[in-house]
Amino acid sequence: MDRGADVVVGRREVPATGSGVHRASEGADRHVNLTAAEVSTALGTPVHGVEVVETFAASAADVARLLIRRADGSGFTVIAKLASGAGRAAARREVQFFEQLAPKWDHPAPQLVGASDTGDRVLLLTEDLGAAGYCVVGTDVTDRQLHGAIDVLAGFHSRFWNDLTAAPDLEPSVTNSAQAWPPEVITRHAAAVRSEADSFFAEATELTPTERAALDEVITGWERQFQNRVACGRALTLIHGDFHFLGNIFFADGDPRPKIIDWSELKPGLGPHDLAYSLSAVPARQPAAQDLLRYYWEALDRPDYSWELCRWDFRFSVISNLFQSVFQRSVKWYRASLTAMDTLDSRATLTEPPPT
């Protein structure tokens, strides 16, 4: 996630301007190269006109709000995600989530509107949450919203508890969050951290030698301990992998249960990782982390998952937040992760056997 800026969502009424794809003069700050034919293919029905109303910052795809016009002049908005090149893998994972996993339970994701894959480009069209009254609250998340988000998270994790066969069968991402299965991906993730650290620390000259040494101290032990934790293949679930309040969790007025976007990083992992990741960007909530974790564990309601193991998984997952800050090239979040690790005594999990 880009934790430096919030995503702002709001509907703009823009008149149709004929056939084809047009770029609105207000609200669109970069070009989105879409054709009406691509949108028609994704929807499975011809459209009369398509207009880019607003674009949003994204790292691996072009994301925009589209106004789609029917032949009778009526219209509706959708959120479009268009990926090409290296971004196609993430987009295909997300399409697979919507087509294969979302129908299996009362999911918190926006509704799938359409999708297409030409080989060179992947287009995903989903419900416009802004038009439906949802918005991002960022660090101003209330207690009620926070508990609602944890309820949704626990319901998702419980639905796919120990069901690792439900994971997308596409190449997994190893740089957005640690993946617990298959075990060899853990080694790939550690290797990616080491590789990225060389360039990160070359740029982050303000970090002290002690701060720099912290990564070397934990990375080897983390890889070995994670392998030990997942060896039995139990007490694992599917995780969102990018669960945060700064852009991916949307709330409507009066409803504490949110909608969640960006499912491209879905992967097998430790359930508490999603909670640890979300709290890393809400520092004011860190003092209540243990109480929130207990709320999550009780909502999860898995008799085969002890409170002791849940706490261990949470403390251990905070370490991978340190790795994520390296991938993001963020000194701010690197230091915040070190602080969280010290507060929760996360380093101790590198030598404590997981209480499985």
Q: What token pair was written down for 265?
A: 């990083």
Segment (H or E) for 257: strand 255-260
Question: Residue 215: what residue type?
Answer: L
Quick one: CATH architecture of 134-350? Alpha-Beta Complex (3.90)
| pLDDT over threshold 80, residue 297 | yes
pLDDT band of residue 3 (cuts 50, 70, 90) is: very low
Which part of the chain is CATH 3.30.200.20?
21-127
pLDDT at 170: 67
Do the strands 267-269 and 237-239 form a parallel or antiparallel pair, or are they unpaired?
antiparallel
| pLDDT over threshold 60, residue 20 | no
Which part of the chain is CATH 3.90.1200.10?
134-350
| pLDDT over threshold 70, residue 30 | no
Question: Residue 50: what residue type?
Answer: V
- Which CB contacts under 8 angstroms, 24+ apart, belong to 20-25? 20/49, 20/50, 21/50, 21/51, 21/52, 22/49, 22/50, 22/51, 22/52, 23/51, 23/52, 24/51, 24/52, 24/53, 24/54, 24/67
Mean pLDDT lowest for which of 7-21, 69-83, 161-175, 237-251?
7-21
Question: Residue 110: what residue type?
Answer: P
CATH of 21-127, one of 3.30.379.10, 3.30.200.20, 3.40.50.300, 3.40.50.740: 3.30.200.20
Q: What is the mean pLDDT of residues 101-114?
A: 94
Q: Which residues, in sequence order, are bridge partners of residue 82?
A: 62, 123
pLDDT at 26: 41
pLDDT band of residue 338 (cuts 50, 70, 90) is: very high
pLDDT single digits (tens) 164-191: 887 777 677 888 788 888 889 999 999 9
